[in-house]
């Protein structure tokens, strides 16, 4: 009997848009099964544009203030296939009991520095900033590809 491979889930990662939805970001996220925005959205219109592509999981960043942002949580979790993902804007606000909670991936923003690091079996991904350029940091976004319990993260520079 042939075994059937699970279909991979593609989760788009974006953060620190600061009111700016770049066409390059929308193109990178096109075709994703879901999108995570790790905060500093700064405007409901950003979420409206992303929601046209795929279902959203969103957390509030330190620049997300006002009535429009009041209902956005500071932490969110989602399960994709067999992988539990925690989303928080600032890594310093991350809970300490990741293993107890079964978290396999943490998605953050805030620093504007794109990175992928694995520590103690937990994958930490910061897609960087897809908004206005800050210092000399790249404009970037990311993606998680999940198949069963296997997860792979990639980063993508949106514009030079």
What's the CATH code of the domain at 144?
3.60.21.10
On whether residue 58 sits in a domain, the answer given is yes
Kindly write down the DSSP assignment for every residue of 121-160, as one continuous string: TEEEEE--BSSS--TTPPEEEEEEEEETTEEEEEEEEEE-
Per-residue pLDDT of 9-49, as tens digits, reads 999 999 999 999 999 999 999 999 999 999 999 999 999 99
Joined together, the tokens standing for residue 67 give 């009535």
> Which residue matches tokens 């809970």?
95
CB atoms within 10 A of CB 48: 11
**pLDDT, mean over the chain:** 94
Per-residue pLDDT reduced to its tens digit, 137-155: 999 999 999 999 999 999 9
4 has pLDDT over 90: no
Decide if 60 is inside a domain: yes
Residue 120 within a domain = yes
Beta-carbon contacts of 117 under 8 Å, excluding residues fewer than 6 positions away, are: 123, 124
Give percent of the chain above pLDDT 90.
86
Flag whether pLDDT at 65 surpasses 60: yes
Is residue 4 situated within a structural domain?
no
Higher-pLDDT residue of 20 and 99 is 20
The predicted structure's pLDDT at residue 3: 55
The percent of residues above 70 in pLDDT, for the chain, comes to 96
Asked if residue 146 is part of any domain, the answer here is yes
**pLDDT in the model for residue 97:** 87
Is residue 3 one of the residues assigned to a domain?
no
User: Which residue range forms the structural domain that includes residue 139?
Assistant: 9-159
Tell which residue, 60, 42, 57, has the closest CA to residue 12.
57
Let me know if residue 95 belongs to a domain: yes
pLDDT at residue 36, as a whole number? 98
Is the pLDDT at 136 greater than 90? The verdict is: no
Q: Which of 104, 115, 106, 107 is nearest to 140 (CA)?
A: 115
Number of structural domains in the chain:
1
Q: Are 59 and 87 in contact (CB under 8 A)?
A: yes
pLDDT at 6: 61
> What is the per-residue pLDDT for 114?
96
In a domain, 2, yes or no: no
């Amino acid at each position: 009997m042939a075994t059937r491979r699970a279909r991979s889930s593609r989760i788009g990662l974006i953060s620190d848009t600061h009111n700016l939805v770049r066409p390059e970001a929308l193109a990178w996220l096109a075709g994703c099964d879901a999108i995570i925005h790790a905060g500093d959205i700064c405007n409901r219109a950003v979420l409206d544009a992303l929601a046209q592509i795929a279902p959203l999981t969103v957390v509030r960043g330190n620049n997300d203030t006002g009535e429009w942002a009041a209902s956005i949580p500071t932490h969110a979790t989602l399960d994709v296939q067999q992988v539990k993902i925690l989303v928080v804007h600032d890594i310093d606000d991350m809970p300490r009991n990741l293993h107890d909670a079964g978290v396999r991936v943490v998605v953050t923003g805030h620093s504007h520095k794109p990175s992928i690091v694995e520590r103690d079996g937990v994958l930490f991904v910061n897609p960087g900033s897809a908004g206005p350029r800050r210092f000399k940091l790249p404009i970037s976004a990311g993606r998680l590809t999940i198949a069963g319990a296997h997860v792979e993260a990639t980063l993508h520079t949106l514009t030079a």
